[in-house]
């Protein structure tokens, strides 16, 4: 009952309140981003949502559009600016995802939405992470975020799906505030962002 009805109601009310309260901040970031990084201000990317269905994820852009001589994007660490790193470390780059929540594509709490190309790489157990809507924050984020290895992160996502409840969501939201203030787990060691997930083994694995 909570997952099917009350959670959606909470998402709508909470994201509306946050959106209105944060409107001046969102507008300020948009203006500064336009000056610092140029256009577009928003980063839009197709991610896998509920049951693996694709949707367009919105975030504030944190990287410059820099390419090599072949027209391929330069490595993340070369395109990520100090300003972009500040947005990521404070997690305010995630604010546009409120749009995704209001559209019903995401929830405030749930497994983070990942790339569509990862879908065939999951084990059968790992695919269970898509049995709930993806979230702006989640159990894996408060348990280590990008410092976790992929297998650990995905297992925490499945654990959340198996234990989803109002109290767990409330705990995750409170821990998220703490993690944002402390700015922990932002980067995976040796990487500017999370390294690509290449699979955990045979899909028959449970």
pLDDT of residue 153: 95
Structure tokens belonging to residue 122 = 């999951």
User: How many Å apart are CA 96 and CA 13, to the nearest integer?
Assistant: 16
pLDDT in the model for residue 5:
87
Give per-10-residue mean pLDDT for the chain (206 aa): 90 95 95 92 96 97 82 78 88 94 97 96 96 96 86 96 96 92 60 75 49
Sole residue written with tokens 């390419």 = 67
**Structural domain spans, the chain:** 2-182
Q: Is 167 exposed, middle or buried (0-12, 13-18, 19+ CB in 10 A)?
A: exposed
Distance CA 77, CA 123 (A): 30
Q: For every residue of the chain, which 3-state class applies, written as one string?
A: CHHHHHHHHHHHHHHHHHHHHCHHHHHHHHHHHHHHHCCCCEEEEEEECHHHCEEEEEEECCECCCECCCCCECCHHHHECHHHHHHHHCCHHHCCHHHHHHCCCCEEECCCCCEHHHHHHCCCCHHHHHHCCCEEECHHHHCCHHHCCHHHHHHHHHHHHHHCCHHHHHHHHHHHHHHHHHCCCCCCCCCCCCCCCCCCCCCCCC
pLDDT of 205: 43
């Amino acid at each position: 009952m909570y997952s099917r009805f009350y959670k959606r109601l909470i998402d709508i009310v909470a994201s509306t309140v946050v959106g209105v309260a944060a409107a001046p901040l969102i507008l300020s970031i948009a203006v500064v981003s336009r000056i610092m990084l140029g256009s577009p201000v928003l980063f839009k990317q197709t991610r896998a949502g509920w049951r693996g269905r694709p949707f367009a994820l919105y975030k504030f852009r944190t990287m410059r559009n820099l390419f090599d001589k072949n027209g391929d994007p330069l490595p993340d660490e070369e395109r990520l600016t100090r300003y972009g790193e500040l947005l990521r470390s404070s997690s305010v780059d995630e604010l546009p995802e409120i749009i995704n929540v209001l559209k019903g594509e995401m929830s405030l709490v749930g497994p983070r939405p990942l790339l569509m190309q990862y879908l065939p790489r999951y084990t059968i157990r790992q695919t269970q992470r898509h049995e709930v809507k993806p979230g702006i924050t989640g159990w894996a984020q408060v348990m280590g975020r990008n410092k976790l290895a992929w297998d650990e992160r995905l297992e925490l996502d499945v654990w959340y799906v198996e234990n989803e409840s109002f109290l767990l969501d409330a705990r995750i939201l409170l821990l998220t505030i703490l993690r944002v203030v402390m700015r922990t787990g932002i980067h995976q060691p040796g990487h500017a962002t999370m390294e690509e997930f290449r699979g955990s083994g045979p899909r028959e694995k449970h």
